[in-house]
Amino acid sequence: MRINVNDKDYTVVVDGNPSLLEVLREQLDLTGTKYGCGEAACGACKVLINGTPTPACITPATVAQSKKVVTIEGLEKEGKLHPVQEVLMEEDVFQCSYCAPGMIITAVALMEKQEALSDSEIVEGMNGNICRCCTYPQIVSALSKLTQKAKAG
Amino acid sequence: MKNERIKQKGEQLSERKLPGKGLSRRSFFKYMGAGIATYFVWTDYLASGVLPKSEGDLLAPDQLSSWIHLSETGQITVFTGKVEVGQNIRTSLTQVVAEELFLPVSSITLVMGDTHRTPYDRGTYGSLTTPQMAPILRKAAANLREILLEQARKEWKIEEVSLTMDQGMVQHPKNGKKLSYGDLAKGKTLLQQMDDNVPTIEPTNWKIAGTSVPKVNGREFITGKHRYVSDMVLPGMLYGKVLRPPVQGSKLRAVKTERAESMAGVQLVREGDFIGVVAQNTRTAAMALASIEADWDSSPQVSRAQLFDHLLSSAEKGNPVSSQVTKAFDESTHKIQHDFEVQYIAHVPLEPRAGLAQWTGNQLEVWTGTQRPFGVQEELERTFDLPGEQIRVYMPDTGSGYGGKHTGEAGIEAARLSKATGKPVKVNWTREEEFKWAYFRPAGLIKVKAAVKGQGIVSWEFHNYNSGGAGIDLPYLGTNKHQEYHRSDTPLRQGSYRALASTANIFAIESTVNDLARKIEADPLQFRLDNLDNDRLEAVINAAAGDFDWNRAKAGPNHGFGMACGAVKGGFVATFAEISVDRESRELKIIKAITAFECGAIINPRHLESQVTGCVLQGLGGALFESVDFKDGDISNAFLSSYRVPRFKDVPDMKVILLDRKDLPSSGAGEAPIVCIAPAIRNAIDDAVGVKINRLPMLPSGIVPEG
């Protein structure tokens, strides 16, 4: 099966109906997308499929056929971080950072839909993602800074 | 011994073997590259008084403890057995080294938790890195700085002492000439033992330590490039799965593995009751595992419904309680008797256990996410009956632990499967496996009897069954105390967790003391201050109370204020909470939570604030809703959809106040701040609606019970 990930075309094996998470991690060696729970309850495995944040752990890889998948590895363009990555770096929010890829993917989709978000809209939009180190306030504050910029700009 | 070592200072070591490590100076530099290095040994640790003697006794006195190496290109490499699990010590330790060497943090690399390259370390736990490893690394770096200055003086043939250093350069005092550290290290193979008396830079003069240096390898994580063990791949690597019993306490009776063995690309491994499969990918391994038909004999297991009766009835007999304690209680008019019940909770590290193993002849390499890489090495020694030198354990920065990764299960399983198949094997545990087969924070039953006379505690009898003795000491003045931890039979596998039993004990202490104050109609804040003799604890209480504005009027009926304080592992914490209970629904709302924390001189304010915030919020889960449900050996909520952890929406309006005591040594912060949020909320609920909730979690359904 052909699959497009981060603007590159790949051929992958889908015998036995593997999850998109397994195909990304084990066939394409894109290990930035994480396993956290296997039941779409923690958000660690979120990727964008045609722009929609999707838990890759419960999504069969075949769902992504002829669609565009973006993973954490695809956000950096020519050495330049995505603004969401940039603000999370600047604000230095993470501890163990295992949740970071899923958090970033979710935030990217959230902010692409609507740039000027209130804090409660950020909380609502991010609630499916777990950070077990509980850096939630720092994440909200960093994303809030980004939306302030968007509002000002 | 000490004198002998002092004599060696300033001399190049002879070709004799380096202490404890079996490395000669020549092989050290062959391995490290030429340059200058300082090292210290465990006796330096003991001499500096940061390590309990008992711990030191376990090691050879001349065992190498850590070292710092400067290469000919000016790169500094620090070797420490401590590991990074998200507490950001890679950054804080880099900062203290950078500070002493007048270097940017980018010039320094830490090699951590690699049993062949870093010196032995018992483990990264107990909030010990900052009080133990950081001061030693500061001294080693300061030592290296002194060596560099000495080399510069030799180079310029001057006696001048006031050379300046900046950004990796030593400057001549008169002619403006500069020498880089790399230049000074060129062609040298200079290795010195640390001088314990070397001066270090005072915290009041810190320029790099004491500032919010960002996570040193932060970009790797934010771009998804960092390889956690669960992400690692070796050439020819296979994915492994291990057969688990359906419930705890099961024994394998019969097993049919033919279907798994006949599957293409699947190899079955059986060694006694250990059965595993390996395959080219996780899916095939999982299908092969599912095709195994196993019959198990079960054995009777204690279920959650009998938990607290069981902990009490299986407890070891304790010490007799003195008649003075019971007499003072019996004679008092103001007294309280409480039983506190604390449930098992799970660490839920977002990265479940993972291990990767590779055999090359009889040499074993294991990569695993653990807080004790040297402990895992020992487990592997026992499993395979191999000497430690043949086993190398690596610990790449890991997806958190919280005390839950002291063991090496996944690494050992990977090593067994790898040995049997002759290929590198990776075993990534599923979330369900992590819930069912790791270990939990202990459950506990705490029985307290306390009495107050006038404004003071006159009887205090405190028994902790099973959860542990940490934090059991009453921090308040008082007479007639009996405090005891009783070991019990634990139905579930239990182990370390952030702050250990301090969370349970301080919940019981701070709830009881609050109730004593209310019993005599004293202000709970004033009662505590009147009965404390601990400046550091009083300082955090006062800081939080001031910000909270404790004496203000409450916003309405069913609103309550509560507080708690505690001193844990060199950290001092106070949390104040404002809550309301909805009159109709009885739902709890946390309106505000303010935590003040002090742990000596702050090394990284932003990361410290993050640790304190994370502790308070993780503590909120155990305070309100987290608990492990189990029946007949089965963990009934072994999924993230059924075991609730705090999420974005659970975060209350909160504030962290950090007190920076540059006059006091820095201590750790990953544990202490977790202990006060539960009792602060419990006391606020009592204040609001007069209901005393003496269990953790307090509100699994979110509803405050009627009084």
Q: What is the mean pLDDT of residues B73-88?
A: 93
Say if CB B575 and CB B564 are below 8 A apart. yes
Chain B residues whose CB is inside 8 A of the A32 CB are 223-225
| pLDDT beyond 70 at B49 | no
- The amino acid sitting at B101 is L
In this structure, what token pair is assigned to residue B500?
């250990």
B281 token code pair: 């990918």
Query: Which of A21, A80, A92, A108 to probe by mutation at the B interface, max B CB count within 10 Å?
Result: A92
CB B375 within 8 A of CB B410: no
The enclosing H or E element of B444 equals: strand B444-453
Which of A12, A39, A74 marks a domain boundary? A74
Question: Measured between CA atoms, how close is B220 to chain A, in angstroms?
Answer: 10
Task: With cut-offs at 50, 70 and 90, classify the pLDDT of residue B17.
Answer: very low
- Under the banding of pLDDT at 50, 70 and 90, the label for residue B24 is low
pLDDT at B195 > cutoff 90: no
Mean pLDDT of B65-85: 89
Helix (H) or strand (E) holding B178: strand B178-180
Reply yes or no: is the peptide bond before residue B697 cis, omega within 30 of 0: yes
* Mean pLDDT score, B658-675: 97
Predicted confidence (pLDDT) per residue in B258-285, tens digit: 999 999 999 999 999 999 999 999 999 9
Nearest chain A Cα to B280, which residue? A26
Stretch B88-96: mean pLDDT? 97
Return the residue of B nearest to A133 by Cα.
B614
Taking residues B122-128, what's their average pLDDT?
A: 88
Range of the domain at A67: 2-74
Mean pLDDT of chain B: 92
Residue numbers in A near B236 (CB within 8 A): none
pLDDT in tens, B133-169: 899 899 999 999 999 999 999 999 998 778 999 999 9
Chain A hits for B223, CB-CB cut-off 8 Å, are 32, 72-73, 75-76, 81, 85
Same domain, A68 and A91: no
Between chains, do B350 and A129 touch, taking CB under 8 Å as contact?
A: no
Whether A147 and A110 map to the same domain: the answer is yes
Same domain, residue pair A92 and A69: no
Q: Establish how many alpha carbons lie within 13 A of residue A153's alpha carbon, considering only the half-sphere containing its beta carbon.
A: 8
pLDDT at B27: 64
Q: Which of B215, B222, B441, B612 to mutate to test the interface with A (most CBs of A within 10 A)?
A: B222
Nearest CA in chain A to B84: A96
- Residue B43's pLDDT is 52
- Residue B653: count other Cβ atoms within 10 Å of its Cβ: 11
Find the CB nearest A41 among B284, B640, B646.
B640
How far apart are the CA of B704 and the nearest CA of chain A, in angstroms? 24
Percent of all residues in chain A with a pLDDT value above 90, rounded to a whole number = 93
Q: Give the mutation candidate from B350, B592, B611 for the A interface (greatest A CB count, under 10 A).
A: B350
Its ipTM equals 0.98
Look at B38 and B290; give whichever has higher pLDDT: B290
Residue B18 DSSP label? P
CB contact under 8 A, A81 and B222: yes
- Cα B580 from Cα B564, distance rounded (Å): 18
Contacts of B639 in chain A (CB under 8 A): 37, 39, 41
Regarding whether A68 and A128 lie in a shared domain, the answer is: no
d(CA B588, CA B193): 59
CATH of B231-298+353-428, one of 3.40.50.11810, 3.30.365.10, 2.40.50.140, 3.40.220.10: 3.30.365.10
**Are A65 and A2 within 8 A, CB to CB?**
yes
Closest chain B residue by Cα to residue A17: B283
Closest CA to A75 of A67, A66, A83: A83
Q: What's the pLDDT band for A149 if we cut at 50, 70, 90? A: confident
Q: Which of B84, B87, B223, B651 to mutate to test binding with chain A, by most A CBs within 10 Å of its CB?
A: B223
Identify the weakest region by mean pLDDT among B25-29, B304-308, B471-475: B25-29
DSSP element (H, E) containing B486? strand B481-486
Tell me the per-residue pLDDT of B467-520, one tens digit each, with 9 for 90 and over: 999 999 999 999 999 999 999 999 999 999 999 999 999 999 999 999 999 999
- Are A66 and A110 in a shared domain? no
What is the band of B707 on the pLDDT scale with cuts at 50, 70, 90? confident
pLDDT of residue B618: 98
Residues of A in contact with B613 (CB under 8 A): 134-135, 137-138
Distances (CA, A) of B240 to A21, B139, B172, B237, B422: 17, 45, 60, 10, 13
Instruction: Give contacts of A126 with chain B, Cβ < 8 Å.
Output: 648
Architecture of domain B314-344+440-696: 2-Layer Sandwich (3.30)
User: What CATH number is associated with residue A110?
Assistant: 1.10.150.120
Nearest Cα of chain A lies from the Cα of B639 at a distance, in angstroms, of 7
Question: What is the per-residue pLDDT for A115?
Answer: 75
Cβ–Cβ < 8 Å for B545, B529:
no
Chain A residues with beta carbon closer than 8 angstroms to that of B214: 89, 92
Q: Are A138 and B610 an interchain contact pair (Cβ–Cβ within 8 Å)?
A: yes
pLDDT of B447 higher than 60: yes
| Residue B390 clears pLDDT 50, i.e. is over it | yes
User: According to the model, what pLDDT value does residue B73 have?
Assistant: 92
DSSP B306-320: GHHHHHHHTPPP-PP
Distance CA B463, CA B319 (A): 10
Give the minimum alpha-carbon distance from B215 to chain A in angstroms, rounded to a whole number: 7
Q: Are residues A11 and A67 in the same domain?
A: yes
Tell me the residue type at B18.
Answer: L
pLDDT of residue B665: 96
Q: Structure tokens of B664?
A: 């006091």
Question: Comparing C-alpha atoms, which of B556, B627, B542, B546 is closest to residue B591?
Answer: B556
- Answer yes or no: do A39 and B640 touch at CB < 8 A: yes
As a whole-number percent, the residues of chain B with pLDDT over 90 amount to: 83
A58 and A92 both lie in a single domain = no
Tell me the mean pLDDT in the region B597-620: 98
Q: Cβ separation of B611 and A140 shorter than 8 Å?
A: no
* CB pair distance less than 8 Å for A98 and B287: no
Are B641 and A37 in contact (CB < 8 Å)?
A: yes
Chain B residues with CB under 8 Å of A18 CB are 281, 283
**B36: pLDDT strictly greater than 50:** yes
Kind and range of the H or E run holding B631: strand B630-631
Best probe of the B interface among A13, A78, A134, by most B CBs < 10 A, is: A134
- pLDDT at residue A113, as a whole number: 85
For domain B2-222, say whether CATH 2.102.10.10 is its number: no
- From A96's Cα to the closest Cα of chain B, the distance in A is 3
Residue limits of CATH 3.30.365.10 in chain B? 2-222, 231-298+353-428, 314-344+440-696
Mean pLDDT of chain A: 96
Domains identified in chain A, total number: 2
Shortest CA gap A47–chain B (Å): 12
Predicted pLDDT of residue B41 = 63
Q: Which of B218, B351, B430 is the closest to A92 by Cβ?
A: B218
Say if residue A60 is in the same domain as residue A90. Answer: no
Residue partners of B218: CB distance under 8 A and separation at least 6 = A89, A92, A94, A97
What is the SS3 string spanning B347-405? CCCCCCCEEEEEEECCEEEEEECCCCHHHHHHHHHHHHCCCHHHEEEECCCCCCCCCCC
Q: Which two tokens stand for residue A71?
A: 């993973």
> A95 and A67 in one domain?
no
Give me the CATH number covering residue A26: 3.10.20.30
Please compute the mean of the pLDDT values over residues B592-597 and round it to a whole number.
Answer: 98
Q: Taking CA atoms, what residue in B is nearest to A128?
A: B647
Question: Can you tell me the distance from the alpha carbon of B68 to that of B274, in angstroms, rounded to the nearest whole number?
Answer: 43
Query: What is the DSSP secondary structure assignment for residue B131, as one 8-state letter?
Result: I
A70 and A7 in one domain? yes
Choose the final residue of a domain: A26, A54, A74.
A74
Q: Chain B residues with CB inside 8 Å of A105's CB?
A: none
Q: Are strands B630-631 and B695-696 parallel, antiparallel or unpaired?
A: unpaired
Confidence class for position A70, pLDDT limits 50, 70, 90: very high
Cβ-proximal residues to B239 (8 Å cutoff; 6+ apart), any chain: A26, B278, B279, B280, B281, B282, B284, B285, B425, B426, B427, B428
DSSP per-residue string spanning B636-648: TT-STTTS----G
Instruction: Decide if pLDDT at B33 tops 90.
Output: no
Instruction: Please identify which residue in the block is written with the tokens 């005092």.
Output: B173
Listed residue (B223, B292, B238, B241) closest to B263, CA to CA: B292
CB contact under 8 A, A97 and B225: no
**Do the Cβ atoms of B228 and A98 come within 8 Å?**
yes
Q: Which of A33, A48, A74 is the last residue of a domain?
A: A74
B350 and A26 in contact by Cβ < 8 A?
no
Instruction: Give A-chain residues touching B428 at CB under 8 angstroms.
Output: 35
Classified as helix, coil or strand, B624 is: helix
- Give bridge partners of residue B76 from the DSSP assignment: B70, B108
Alpha carbon of A69: minimum distance to chain B alpha carbons (Å): 15
With 50 as the cut, is the pLDDT of residue B61 above it? no
Residues A91 and A118 in one domain: yes
Closest CA to A34 of A118, A129, A140: A129
The arithmetic mean of pLDDT across residues B281-299, rounded, is: 97
pLDDT at residue B12 in the model: 33
Determine the distance in angstroms separating the CA of A66 from the nearest CA of chain B, rounded to an integer: 23
Name every chain B residue with its beta carbon within 8 A of the beta carbon of A129: 648
Q: What is the pLDDT of residues B220-259, one digit of tens each?
A: 999 999 999 999 999 999 999 999 999 999 999 999 999 9
